[in-house]
Amino acid sequence: MTDTSVAAQVAAKWRKKRGSLIMALHELQDIKGYVPWDDAMEMAKDMNIPLARIYEVLTFYNFFKLEAPGKAVISVCTGTACYLKGNDKTLEEFKKQLGINEGESTPDKMFHLQCVRCVGCCGLAPVCVVNGKTYGRVTTGDVSNIIAEWRKKFEEEDKE
């Protein structure tokens, strides 16, 4: 069993408000990074909502993650400007090099790949954001460098 005390706290906060399941799930994911099965079970029990309904919501909205995402979350902007400037090709290159689709994480849990719509700096298009660090004017040639940079960073952290 994993620790579900966060889910219990979040559920306690929202249980009295009708129609608050989505807010509660948002809050849980903000804290945990995703919605684990055991937490969803805890939420179902505490909020008195059938687990099946919770997963209907979790799987309907693209936003919710059911698996722990990789440590580096790569957000490829596919908003209009970035898309027109060729970020679809960047996305394909990330998929190819990481061997995963958008919305998925690498088996070693190092990278998670996702698409976002506009990060608010269209002047730098096409843009990718990795764990808050912004990369502007990205080309397919930059992809391997970005991956290598973060892999190196994590490896150094592990050594320390």
**Residue number, 23 or 66, with CB nearest to another protein:** 66
Q: If we measure between CA atoms, which residue out of 119, 112, 71, 110 comes closest to residue 94?
A: 112
Residue 55's alpha-carbon distances to 19, 39, 137, in angstroms, are 15, 12, 38
Ramachandran class of 103: left when φ > 0, alpha when ψ lies in -120 to 50, beta otherwise: left
**Minimal distance in Å, beta carbon 1 to another protein?**
8
Q: For helices 21-32 and 51-60, give the axis angle rounded to 10 degrees.
A: 70
**Minimal distance in Å, beta carbon 77 to another protein?**
23
**Residue number, 4 or 90, with CB nearest to another protein:** 4
**Minimal distance in Å, beta carbon 54 to another protein?**
7
| E-only strand ranges, the chain | 72-77, 111-116, 128-130, 133-135
Instruction: Name the residues that contact another protein, by CB under 8 A.
Output: 1, 37-38, 40-41, 50-56, 58-60, 66
**Residue number, 41 or 129, with CB nearest to another protein:** 41
**Residue number, 34 or 154, with CB nearest to another protein:** 34
**Minimal distance in Å, beta carbon 119 to another protein?**
25
